Amino acid sequence: MRIAVTGRHYAAETAHLLSTYLRLLGRDIEVGVLSEQEIANALVNGTALPAIETLVFSGFKTLGQPANEAEKNSFKTFAQFFAAATAAQAVINVNDSSGAHLAKRAQGEVVRYSSEYGQTADWYLAVTNHNINAVSFAMQGPEDGYLRGRLATFSTDLATAAGLALATLATVGVPIAEIAAMLKNVGSLEVDCGARLSAAQTAPLLVEHNIVGLVYLRDLLDALTDVAPGEVRIVLDAETVAARCDAKESAMIGAQAAHSGHLLYVACETAQNVREGIAASGGRAQVSYYTSVSEAKVATGANCDASTVVLYAGEITNAPLTA
C-alpha cells in the first residue's frame, strides 16, 4: 500500500478525495484505508500490515469532552502504531491535541496539516466561501506553496479532508504547480462521498447523508445551520441508526437531532434507544413519528417552499421526497 489513510474522522472520505485527485492528475499511486481494527489486530497478534510508504492521519474527533474510555483506548492504539510504523512519511491532521501528539511520535518525515487557526503546521487551510452549493478554500504550505480549491458540497469537514489529501499529494512529490493547474481545470469538484445535495433542485432541497455516527451528524447539522437558505427539516431513519450504532450512540444521535431545534421526522417509531434519546434531550425540535421512511419523507415534503432544506439521515436510496 503506497499511501494509507487512517483515523477516526473522515478517513474514508480523505482516501476517496486523494484517489480522485490522483486520477485527475493522471497519477497511478495506490491509496487505501487502514482501519483502527486492522491496526489493533496487528499490534495484539503481531501480524504484518501492508508495506506503507506514506501514512496519513485524518483526525481523532471525540463524541464529547472528556473523552470516554473507549476513545482513550482508541487513541492509545493509534499512538502505539505511529511510534512503531516504518513509513517514510507521515501527513497528520493536527487540528486537535491528539494529532499533535501523534506527530511527535511518528517516525520519518512528518508533515503537519491544520484547518484550525493557531495550530502549528506545515500546511494550512482556510475556508474562503461557504454556501449550500459549494465550499471554496485556500491553502498555504512550505516554500510559499499556495493552492485554491472548490468542492460542490456545503460540508466544511469535506473541505478539510480535501486539504489533507492535497497536502499529501505535495508530500509524495507532486509539484505544486501541477496540483494548482489540476484544481483550476476541475473547478468545483463534484463530491460523491459524505453528505450530498440531491441533483433534483426542487422544493424542498434534499441533503442525503449515510448515517454512520454522532460526530458526522453533529458536524452536518452545524454546517447546514450556517448555510441553509430557509427552514431545515430532518428525516431521521432511526432503524438504520439502531443497526449501525450501539445503544448509547443511538440515544445520543436522537438527542442531537432533537436538540437542533429543527422540525424532526423520525422513521421507525420502534427504535427505542433513539426515542429515549429524543425524550431525554429537552430539545426544541417539534418531533413526529412515522412507521416507515417513505411515510416520513412524504410528510416532510408537505408545505415546503423553495428555501426549505430537508436532511435525510439514514440509508441513502434514490427515493425522492414527494408532497
Q: Tens digits of per-residue pLDDT, 196-210?
A: 666 555 667 777 776
Query: What is residue 165's predicted lDDT score, i.e. its pLDDT?
Result: 97
Percent of the chain with pLDDT over 70: 89
End-to-end CA distance of the chain: 48
Interval 251-265 mean pLDDT:
85
- The amino acid that residue 283 corresponds to is G
Residue 16, pLDDT > 80, answer yes
Query: What is residue 201's predicted lDDT score, i.e. its pLDDT?
Result: 53
Where do runs of H (alpha helix) occur along the chain? 11-25, 36-45, 69-84, 97-105, 156-171, 176-186, 214-227, 238-244, 247-259, 272-281, 293-300
Residue 280, pLDDT > 90, answer no
Cα radius of gyration rounded to whole Å, the chain: 20
State the DSSP code for 126: E
By the 8 A CB rule, do 187 and 148 touch? no
Query: What is residue 203's predicted lDDT score, i.e. its pLDDT?
Result: 62
Interval 142-163 mean pLDDT:
92
Query: What is residue 319's predicted lDDT score, i.e. its pLDDT?
Result: 40
Residues 6+ apart with CB under 8 A from 32: 1, 3, 4, 5, 15, 50
Query: What is residue 57's predicted lDDT score, i.e. its pLDDT?
Result: 95
CA separation (Å) from 248 to 244, 253, 288, 307?
A: 12, 9, 22, 34
What is the rounded distance in angstroms from the CA atom of residue 167 to the CA atom of residue 149? 12
Phi-psi region of 316 (alpha: psi -120 to 50; beta: other; left: phi over 0): beta
323: pLDDT confidence band, cut at 50, 70 and 90? Answer: very low
What is the rounded distance in angstroms from the CA atom of residue 176 to the CA atom of residue 95? 23
Percent of the chain with pLDDT over 90: 33
Query: What is residue 286's predicted lDDT score, i.e. its pLDDT?
Result: 87
